Structures are given as C-alpha cells and as structure tokens.
Amino acid sequence: MKIAAILVAAGLGTRFGGTIPKQLVLLHGRPVLRHAAEALIPHIDVLQPVGDSGLIGPALAGVAHLPIVPGGVERQDSVRAGLIALELFAPDIVLVHDAARPVIPPGTVEAVLEALTRHPGAIPALPVSDTLKRGVDGVIRDTLPREGLFRAQTPQGFHYATLLRLHLEAAGRAATDDAALLEAAGLSVALVPGSEQNIKLTLPADLARLAHLLGARMTPRIGTGFDVHAMAEGRKMIICGVELPFEKGLAGHSDADVGIHALCDAIYGALAEGDIGRHFPPSENTWKDADSARFLIHAAGRIKARGGVLANADITLICERPKITPHAPAMQARLAELLDVKVEQISVKATTTERLGFIGRGEGIAAQASVVVLLPA
C-alpha cells in the first residue's frame, strides 16, 4: 500500500498577524511547517508540499519531498493541486495535513490508516465539551446542543482515487474541508480520537502553547569547550568573530579564533560528536588561515540536522590584554548571527589570571564555553 501526504502550506495566516505566513514562524528554532513535515515522514512514502516554493522550499531543506506545487486562492484549490501532482505516483491512500499543525500526537496517523481499511475517509476529531452559544451583536441569542458535535483536526485520510475524483467534480464549489466532499457524496467518513495536543497555530497565544508542548519533548544536553592560543606577531587578533585593534594576533592553523573554537567544541560535545579537530583537521591545508565563522556555522548546522535547538551559550575569555568588555556586545551579535539565534541567548564575558602564568604574562589567550542544546527525546 502506497501512502502519500499533502502538506497544505499556502495560507497567509491573516488572523495570526506578523510579516511572514504563520507556517514559517520559528518554533524551537525551526519553521512550524518543518515540524509538521517531520511528524508526517515516518508514516508515508512521499510528501507533496503545496505553497510558495520560494518561501517553503528553504524551510524544508533536507526533508525528502516531491517538487513543491503552487497553492490556490482557497484551501480546497491547494488540496486539489496537490492531488493532481500525485497522479503520477498513484498512491492508494492520501493524508491531508495543515502545515500550521506542527504536532501529530502518537497514534493519530495509525488510527486514521486503520479506519481507512473500512471507510473511504477518516479524520481525527475531538468531541465538543464546552457549552455552545449563538451570539448576535454581543448578546446571546440561544444555546446550541453540543451532543454529537466534533472539532475536526488533521491529518485527514482518504482513498486517493476517491478524493481526487470528488475534488475534480467539486471544482468551483466551496467545501470547508476534504471530509465535507465525501459527506456530500454520501460516503462514510470515520471519526478517530483526536488530541488537545494537535494544536493549529492560529493566534499568537497558540505559539506559546506549542513551544511549551514541544519543549517538554526535548532533552537538554550540556556541552563544554576549552581552547588556548599563543600570541603571535603579524597576525590579526580575531576573537568571537570580531577583529580587535591590537598589536598582535593569535597563532594557529586557522585564524585562531579562540572564542569560536571553544564554542564549537562545546556544541560538538553536547551533540556527542567529538571536537573541532575531528570535523576540521589541522593537518588539512583546506583550513589553513580559514575564517572560524565557517566552523561555527557547521556546528550550528549539526544542531539543526539533529532536530535540536541551541538554548544558550556562555563564553568566558581569559586574558590580560586586549580588553574584551568594550567589544563584548559586537561579539555577542556576531555569534548570534552565525548561530541564527537571538542575541539574548549568547553571553560573552572576560576575566584575567591576576597576572599569573602564561596568560598573566601576556603570552596567550584562553577561552572556555558552555552550551545547552535541546534535542528530541
């Protein structure tokens, strides 16, 4: 049995507000629609995204999917475009999922697929538990019976050929969701248990709920790093990605950015992926005099590749000279840029050794770093 999924990501999310569509808003460091796509992937054979490829393509980088197809004016138009794009693959089953629903609770897809062995359609849904009131001009008109009422969720599942036929026949006619097309045709649609965790991002308050929900599923990993470089004549003094005005620089195979090197080691340590030397061996000429920003971008990429996020980073620079404090804000900003996080998540501070040892004699600079990385449990 071949299973495909259509990820509907063409909406503008006007109720959510903001400058970008809600499905592209970052949630624990990744776009909402990427969470949705990754939740679908384990259950399907192919993923068919629908929307603006220029916007959602980068958000899905690294996720296996078919070529993105443009969406339509209405959600129904977008789903129809996805169904047509899947004709060549000819799936037996198609799941239709809102890109604004980043959490698919365990058991949801399995329940939908099981119900499809007995019905041409199936949707997860929650029974309405609140009292329903009809209001007019801010005043209650009457109370509606809630018995037998359900709140529909996604992913909704269907026999592919049936849903494609009904969408083609209904072109130009409005339908609130895909199940409505089967209902209108007199076909049975099963209800399977939904979940309060299956939140659709609609309003800004929903983002906080989703962040809390996904955060509970992440495990904190602590990493530490340490690096030291000797002073050297004729070299630029580059620390934490910022060039400092100083008569000397630091000796090293790359640009010897002691702060970034310690930070990279902390990140790789949190991921249990060795140290900077494993990823960028000093024996390779490729990295001679290299900008250490490349190393930190790689480390940040490893966090994202593991589905994690950087919670915070703390770097301590240990030296007598140059003075670090005047440059710390610029260092924080540069590191935040390279890591693609907020400046508030990065701390850069300095201390001395009270003129003791090689650092106290001005012969070198050391750095230590610690990070907290959140990884999927």
Encode pLDDT of 182-223 as tens digits.
999 999 999 999 999 999 998 888 888 888 888 777 889 999
SS3 at position 40: helix
Domain ranges of the chain: 3-215, 218-376
Domain 3-215 has CATH 3.20.20.70: no
DSSP state of 120: S
Cβ atoms 257, 239 nearer than 8 A: yes
Q: What per-residue confidence (pLDDT) applies to 172?
A: 75
Domain 218-376 has CATH 3.30.1330.50: yes
Q: How far apart are CA 302 and CA 308, in angstroms?
A: 9
pLDDT at position 279 over 80: yes
pLDDT digits (tens, 9 = 90+) for 37-94: 999 999 999 999 999 999 999 999 989 999 999 998 888 999 999 999 999 999 999 9
Going by C-beta distance under 8 Å and a sequence separation of 6 or more, which residues neighbour residue 25?
16, 18, 31, 32, 201, 207
pTM of the model: 0.66
**99 backbone φψ class: left, alpha, beta (φ>0; ψ -120 to 50):** alpha
Going by C-beta distance under 8 Å and a sequence separation of 6 or more, which residues neighbour residue 333?
343
Cβ atoms 322, 297 nearer than 8 A: no
Nearest CA-CA partner of 82 in 184, 174, 158, 192: 158
